[in-house]
Copies of this chain bind each other. A is one copy, B any other.
Amino acid sequence: MARNITIREAIREAFDQEMERDPTVILMGEDIVGGTGSPGEDDAWGGAMGIYKGLFGKYGNRLLDTPLSESAFIGAAIGAATCGMRPVAELMFIDFLGVCFDQIYNQAAKFRYMFGGKAETPVVIRTMYGAGISAASQHSQTLTPIFTHIPGIKVVCPSTPYDAKGLMIQSIRDNDPVIFCEHKNTYSIVGDVPEELYTIPFAEANIVHEGDDVTIVSYGLMAHRAVEAAKQLAKDGVECEVIDLRTLSPIDMETVIESVENTGKLVVVDEANPRCSIASDISATVAQQAFKALKAPIEMVTSPHTPVPFSPDLEKFYIPSTEKIINSVQKTLSN
């Protein structure tokens, strides 16, 4: 039976049900319990976003608070994953990848290849990305392209509660390292989520709005803006096909190519900075594989090539807006 719950609740439920099912699943991160060793509540925080709240009471030391040492504990999660555990480690903000990146891209992501196919590293790194709450330059980045660039790591970006639960369970059960990226402005989005356990395979994009005029490709929070743009454009008779990628690596380019072959026009929306981004990645693949079908220049809607500004006034201009998406769609139509 499905209920209307938030992304926050959907992720918690995925943890709860997988931990119940599989004793090798453990969770770790800064303050994911919160209050370990302090005089107040045992799980005072349950994670920076309260995702883990309640799990400590049920699973005890299978949730681990960590010192502020991302290299050490994410590396430990990776090491434990090669020794039979299925750890989920939280990198509180994706912006912090710079203090632990080696363990992710030189270790976890490469083990299988370097070791001649003999390693399995079923680790999930859960993290939060994106701008929109005035958290400024070092707590608002998207950075998904950096992970997507690296072979050996899978990149997951859910946009709905249904996807969040199904993709998290898939991530935990997957035998490759996964970085699970949640947009910080999506936690309270609600949607129907089945009570039972289910998985969503990687590399299966979702067509979240159908149309024949223009293809819009996006992921995470931006997928919602793309749908919003499509709805507004529909009022003017413009029919957009909106594709929510759900996973960036592996990526479902078939669905994208098929759609572009039908519409002949492509707008890619990515909150990341533009250079070497997901937007440019998809554009390039389409320009290579669906060139003949293209009837207009590909449009990319991204953040500008600047850090994220603090001021809410500036941040508003920074993040790709529904309006900018509409403008880009109209631009492709005028061609």
Given known contacts A103-B98, A288-B283, A149 and B298 CB-to-CB distance under 8 angstroms: no
Q: Apart from A106-B137, A149-B149, A277-B281, what are 19 other A-B pairs with CB-CB below 8 Å?
A: A98-B101, A98-B105, A109-B307, A113-B306, A146-B146, A152-B307, A249-B275, A276-B278, A276-B280, A276-B281, A280-B280, A283-B283, A287-B297, A287-B298, A288-B298, A288-B300, A291-B296, A291-B297, A291-B298
CB of A283, distance to nearest CB on chain B (Å): 4
What chain B residues lie within 8 Å of A292 (beta carbons)? 297
In the complex, which residue of chain B has the Cβ closest to the Cβ of A249?
B275
> Do A281 and B291 have beta carbons less than 8 Å apart?
no
> In the complex, which residues of chain B have a beta carbon less than 8 angstroms from the beta carbon of A275?
148-149, 151, 249, 281
| In the complex, A246 has a CB within 8 A of chain B | no
Is B101 a contact of A113 with CB atoms below 8 Å? no
A interface, over-half SS: helix
Q: Is A72 an interface residue (CB 8 A)?
A: no
Confirm or deny: A284 has a beta carbon within 8 angstroms of a beta carbon on chain B: yes
Interface residues in A92-149 by Cβ distance below 8 A to B read: 95-106, 109-110, 113-114, 136-138, 145-146, 148-149
Cα distance A296–B304 in the bound complex, in angstroms: 29
- Partner-B contacts on A (CB < 8 A): 71, 95-106, 109-110, 113-114, 136-138, 145-146, 148-152, 249, 272-273, 275-281, 283-289, 291-292, 294, 296-300, 304-307, 309-310
Q: Are A288 and B284 in contact (CB under 8 A)?
A: no
Tell me the bound Cα distance from A114 to B145 in angstroms: 22
Q: Are A284 and B273 in contact (CB under 8 A)?
A: no
Residues of chain B contacted by A272 (CB below 8 angstroms): 149
Q: Give the complex CA separation of A287 and B278 in angstroms.
A: 15
In Å, the complex CA distance between A95 and B114 comes to 15
A-B residue pairs in contact (CB < 8 Å), sample of 15: A71-B99, A106-B138, A113-B137, A114-B310, A145-B145, A146-B146, A149-B272, A151-B273, A151-B307, A276-B278, A279-B284, A281-B284, A283-B284, A286-B287, A292-B297
Task: Using CB atoms, name the residue of chain B closest to A279.
Answer: B284
A275 to B150, CA, bound (A): 8
Bound CA–CA A171/B305 (angstroms) = 20
Given contacts A149-B145, A273-B149, A276-B149, whether A114 and B98 have CB atoms under 8 Å apart is: no
The residues of B that contact A299 with a CB separation of less than 8 Å are 288
C-alpha gap A136/B306 in the complex (Å): 34
B294 touches A291 (CB 8 A): yes
> Is A99 touching B96 in the complex (CB atoms < 8 A)?
no
Whole-angstrom distance between the Cβ of A78 and the nearest chain B Cβ: 13
CA distance A298 to B110 in the complex (A): 30
A108 to B269, CA, bound (A): 28
Of the listed residues A146, A249, A272, A279, the one surrounded by the most CB atoms of chain B closer than 10 A to its CB is: A146
